[in-house]
Each structure stands twice: as C-alpha cells, then as structure tokens.
Structure 1
Amino acid sequence: MGTTQRRAGRPRTAVLDRRRIGEAALELVDETGDFTLPELARRLGVQTGSLYHHVDGRAGVIELLREQISNQMDPTPLDRHPWDVAMGAFFRSYRAVFAAHPRVVPLLTTATIRSPKVIAAYDKMAAQLADSGIPTSRAMEILTAMENFVIGSALDLAAPEVMWEIPEGVEAPHLAAALAAQSTSTDRAERAFEVGMATLLAAVRAEAAAPR
C-alpha cells in the first residue's frame, strides 16, 4: 500500500487571519473584560509573535474588536428618510450590539476610531444632519452626545431592574415620590431609552428648524 505524500508548500487555508483574531478577542473580552496578547495567542493555539503578522499589537486587536462590533450593527436604516427616523433606528441597532457585549465598551471608547464601516455610518449621519439644516460645526457634538447616551443606555440594560433603594433612615422624599409614581418597575431601561432618544431627536429637530 502506498503512503500518502504530504503536500509541500503553504496550506490552502490560512491558520490565522484577522477575522479569527477578532472573533477570539471578542470571546475573551466577553468572558473576562479584557485581553492580553499572550492570552489571545493561547486561545488561538499560536505563538504570541504570530499575531504581529496580522495586527499592530494591542491597538490593532482593539481595532479588530471594533470591526467585530460594527459588523453586527445594521447600517441599512441610514438609507431611510426622514433623517430622524433613520438615525433613531440605527442607534437602536447600535445599542443592541453594545448591550450584547458590554465589556468591550471601555476598550472601544478609549481608542481612536478607524473602522471603515463605522466611519461610513457616521459620514451618512453627518450628511443627514447637514441636509436637515444643522451647521457642520455642530455635527460631531450632536453625534457624540447621541453616542454617549446610547452606550450608557446599553450598559443600563445589564443593570438590575430595581436600581434605586433608599436605605432606612435616609430622607429623600422627592426621590421616593418619583420612584413611587412610576407607572411600572418593569422595562425600566427600555422606557428610559425611549424617553432619552425622543428628547435628543426633538432637540436636534428644533435646532434644525430654528432660523439662522
């Protein structure tokens, strides 16, 4: 019986690529809240030095994490009209993805954004704001404010349903009255998000409609 010769040369399928590194990094961050390059290499079954053939160290892996997150977002609402409906729908998708991966938030919010997909989405929103009448000088302030709210709201989804508990002996009558006046304690995070998003969009609409 003849023996099968092992084919020489490079394998047809790469052992390691940027997609695999990004997926493994996101799994690691979801589990532990952070990553190191040696930990990531162990998870992938490679030497740490092999990662440097695909990414520029830790900063490069963080950018792959951003790509993983952005790939889960749905940018198609940004092609809708009117602009406020489009942006509201996009930021709901944005929130859902970050709510599914809350531990990645500190890593992404402290790193410069270079993801082409994220940049394309924000370019569309900047164009929509300009078309609505918002001055270009205000676009990034508005988008950053909305992003900050949405990320905070995503983290709020991981919080307990009962967020406030006034200890015995602490006098807070106005807060107690506000808590008691809530229509329901369920879906607290969802209701707060809808109020906040509606308020932000209404403020931008009012600014767009204001005479120049």
Structure 2
Amino acid sequence: MPRPRSHTTAQLAAAALIVIDRDGLPGLSMRAVATELGISPMALYRYVRDREELEALVVELVLSAVDTAPPPPGPWPGRITVLARRLRETMCAHPAVLPLTLTHRHRSHSGLRWSETVLGVLTEAGIEAEERVLALRALIAYVIGASQLEHLGPLSGPGTTAIADLPGDQFPYMSATARDARSVTPDREFDGGLELLLRGLA
C-alpha cells in the first residue's frame, strides 16, 4: 500500500517557486524543493513524475494570479493592451520563471484562459482564421519576450551603456539609439512596443 501523501501539489508548487525566487531557475532541483518542504528527495516523486511536471505546476501557480476577465467594452486595441499588461505584471512578479512560461504555457489552465479571453476580443474585432492565429502568437511572443528583456537585458543596464560607448564611426545608429534608450522607462518600452504591434494588426 502506498504511503499517504502529507502535502498537496499546490504546496509543492509554492515551495518550488520559493526556490526559484531565491536561487534563480538554475537553483531549481528536486532536492532543493524537498529540502524546502522538509521531506526526502525520493518522497517528492510520490507527487510528481519529474522536474518537468514540477515546472508546469510552478507556471500554473504563477499564471493563476492573472486576471483573465474580459476588459470593459471599448476599442479592441485598448482591451488587448489591458490583457497584455495584466499578463506582464503577473509574470514580472517572478521574473526567473519567465523562461518556463514558453515551455509550459499549454499545460497551464490559467494561461489558456488568458489566451481564450484574448481570442474573444480579437474575434469581436473581426480578426479570425489564420490572422487570429498569427495575432495570438505574436502577442504571446511579445509579452513574454518583452518581459524577459525587461529583467534580463534592461535598457538601463550595463549592456546599453556599453553600446552607447561604441565608436560612432563604426556603429552610428547603435550608439545613438542606446543613448536615447537611457531615458525610456520599462513601462514606456512595453507599451510603446505593444502599440506598434497592435497598429500592425489593425
């Protein structure tokens, strides 16, 4: 007879998220999560098959905080902007989890619910069939990609400073653009890029 479980999958996900927030994604391991829970690493396998399943639980935990309710009526670009901002805000609360969202978003009920709401807004705007497929993929790629850039390669970071100091005769556009980037806030960067994307979809 298998031993009874003393923890829930929600507790496992919460413990794994604590590990990731503290030690980064490289620090996530079955042993680290087991230590956080005060159990043996082998006991963890009574709850999940492997690390991949544990990662999926973490993604669902993070994305479960996203407000997926349809935004108030209005022009569709504004409604999509509201949904994109909600997803960004939720994911950026745990930036180390961002790389996992691309891999496990299909297994997250909350992530699927967000996409369903986005698709509803797009459909109401007359965006359907193949165009709707491309629009959803582009929006997901933008929100996740922009959120990763915000935390892994921010405009105010040392990379931008180094580019701004490149010789102007060899990299006139890169160096000038990097200097301009210093005054761009994370919110302006996200909203500005999203506006360009939505303008193209329109």
Question: Does the TM-score normalized on the shorter chain lie above 0.5?
Answer: yes
**1:174 is matched with which residue?**
173
Q: Shift of the alpha carbon at 1:106? A: 1.8
- Residue by residue over 1:63-103, the C-alpha shift from the partner in whole angstroms, topping out at 9 and shown as x without a partner, is 11111111222223x24223322221111121122222221
Give the counterpart of 1:19 among 1, 7, 10: 10
**1:122 is matched with which residue?**
115
**1:151 is matched with which residue?**
144
**RMSD of Structure 2 on Structure 1 (CA):** 2.6
- Alignment coverage as a number of residue pairs: 191
Are 1:74 and 2:73 matched, yes or no? Answer: no
What letter matches 1:165 in structure 2? A
| Cα separation, 2, equivalents of 1:193 and 1:51 | 39
Q: Which has the larger radius of gyration?
A: 1
Superposition map of 1:15-164 within 5 A? 15-30=6-21, 31-34=23-26, 35-76=28-69, 78-82=70-74, 83-111=76-104, 113-158=106-151, 159=154, 161-162=156-157, 163=160, 164=163
163-172 or 56-65: which moved more? 163-172
Unaligned runs of 5+ in 2: none
Q: What TM-score, normalized to structure 2?
A: 0.81
Q: What TM-score, normalized to structure 1?
A: 0.77
Q: Shift of the alpha carbon at 1:160? A: 5.2
| Cα separation, 2, equivalents of 1:175 and 1:112 | 34
| Cα separation, 2, equivalents of 1:84 and 1:32 | 35
| Cα separation, 2, equivalents of 1:46 and 1:29 | 18
Q: Shift of the alpha carbon at 1:170? A: 5.9
More helix per residue: 2
The residue matched to 2:103 in structure 1 has which SS?
coil
| Cα separation, 2, equivalents of 1:131 and 1:68 | 30
Are 1:201 and 2:170 matched, yes or no? Answer: no
- Residue by residue over 1:126-163, the C-alpha shift from the partner in whole angstroms, topping out at 9 and shown as x without a partner, is 12212211122222321121121112221232225151
What letter matches 2:174 in structure 1? L
Unaligned runs of 5+ in 1: 1-9, 206-212
Q: Decide whether the 8 Å contact of 1:166 with 1:172 is kept in 2.
A: no
Q: Percent identity?
A: 23
**2:183 is matched with which residue?**
186
